[in-house]
């Protein structure tokens, strides 16, 4: 299963659901890193060999261009009108 790091804005319910499917997901808060910058989130994910889960698409797409040597960035869209 996937090793994932959820950034601060990523929905907690989604983290919990991914865990029920067997994925190894930690939140940036659980890692004791709340409040760090996006580039530091990516650096931490690289050190932990995890892909980043985020809804902050714009900033993490920019970071990908600057530092493409990462485990992955899963950028989701927060859409309340999903019906």
First to last CA, the chain: 28
Tell me if 18 is assigned to some domain. yes
Tell me if 31 is assigned to some domain. yes
Q: What is the mean pLDDT of residues 53-66?
A: 95
pLDDT of residue 81: 72
Tell me if 30 is assigned to some domain. yes
Tell me if 28 is assigned to some domain. yes
Tell me if 64 is assigned to some domain. yes
Q: Residue 71 belongs to what domain range?
A: 3-75
Tell me if 82 is assigned to some domain. no
Residue 16 token pair: 């919990």
- Residues 54 and 50: their CA atoms lie apart, in Å, by 13
Q: Domain count for the chain, please give it.
A: 1
Contact status, residue 6 vs residue 76, Cβ threshold 8 Å = no
Question: What are the tens digits of pLDDT across the range 9-38?
Answer: 999 999 999 999 999 999 999 999 999 999
- Residues 48 and 65: their CA atoms lie apart, in Å, by 20
Tell me if 80 is assigned to some domain. no
Q: What is the pTM of this model?
A: 0.91
Tell me if 48 is assigned to some domain. yes
Question: Strands across the sheet with 24-27, in order?
Answer: 24-27, 3-6, 51-54, 73-75
């Amino acid at each position: 299963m996937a090793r994932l790091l959820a950034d601060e804005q990523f929905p907690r319910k989604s983290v919990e659901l991914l865990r029920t499917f067997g994925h190894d997901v930690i939140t940036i808060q659980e890692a004791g890193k709340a409040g760090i910058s996006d580039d530091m989130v990516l650096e931490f994910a690289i050190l932990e060999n995890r892909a980043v889960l985020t809804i902050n698409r714009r900033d993490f797409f920019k970071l990908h261009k600057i530092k493409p040597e990462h485990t992955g960035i899963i950028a989701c869209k927060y859409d309340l009108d999903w019906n």
